[in-house]
């Protein structure tokens, strides 16, 4: 069982949700986040002067999937979130040791 953290453009959230639904993945968590990548923010202009927006608003999608579903889910997110420009986002995959469905007490892949 793996937790996929995908930090993506907020404008791509609907496309990514749709792509995930298309491969049967409905359950997920979405959070508004701020962060920066290798460009250390972005330069912006305001009333003629330039300043750096250090932390850029993004959306984070968290989705827990069985090990065998990681590759198709990552592929679907990448395809739906990509514009080809810097700032398209990043995906981290981390192991999950335990999942429990609160209503039933089920555990493991059946509880995802």
Which stretches of the chain bind ligand ATP, using CB under 6 A? 7, 35-39, 56, 58, 86-90
Q: How far is the CB of 111 from ligand ATP (least distance, A)?
A: 28
> Around Cβ 15, how many Cβ atoms within 10 Å?
16
9 or 25: CB nearest ligand ATP: 9
Beta carbons of 62 and 73 less than 8 angstroms apart = no
78 or 111: CB nearest ligand ATP: 78
Asked whether position 40 contacts Mg ion by CB under 5 A, the answer is no
In whole angstroms, give the CA distance from residue 62 to residue 92.
Answer: 10
Beta carbons of 14 and 22 less than 8 angstroms apart = no
Asked whether position 102 contacts Mg ion by CB under 5 A, the answer is no
Beta carbons of 77 and 19 less than 8 angstroms apart = yes
Q: How far is the CB of 88 from Mg ion (least distance, A)?
A: 8
Q: Which two tokens stand for residue 44?
A: 């912006």
Q: Which residues bind Mg ion (CB under 5 A)?
A: 37, 39, 86-87
């Amino acid at each position: 069982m793996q937790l996929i953290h995908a930090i993506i453009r907020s404008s791509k959230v609907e496309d990514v949700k749709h792509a995930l639904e298309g491969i049967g993945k409905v359950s997920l968590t979405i959070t508004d986040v701020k962060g920066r990548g290798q460009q250390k923010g972005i330069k912006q202009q305001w009333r003629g002067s330039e300043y750096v927006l250090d932390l850029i608003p993004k959306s984070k999608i968290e989705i827990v999937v069985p090990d065998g579903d990681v590759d198709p889910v990552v592929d679907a997110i990448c395809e739906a979130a990509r514009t080809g420009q810097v700032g398209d986002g990043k995906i981290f995959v981390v192991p999950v040791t335990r999942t429990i469905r609160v209503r039933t007490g089920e555990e493991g892949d059946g509880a995802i």
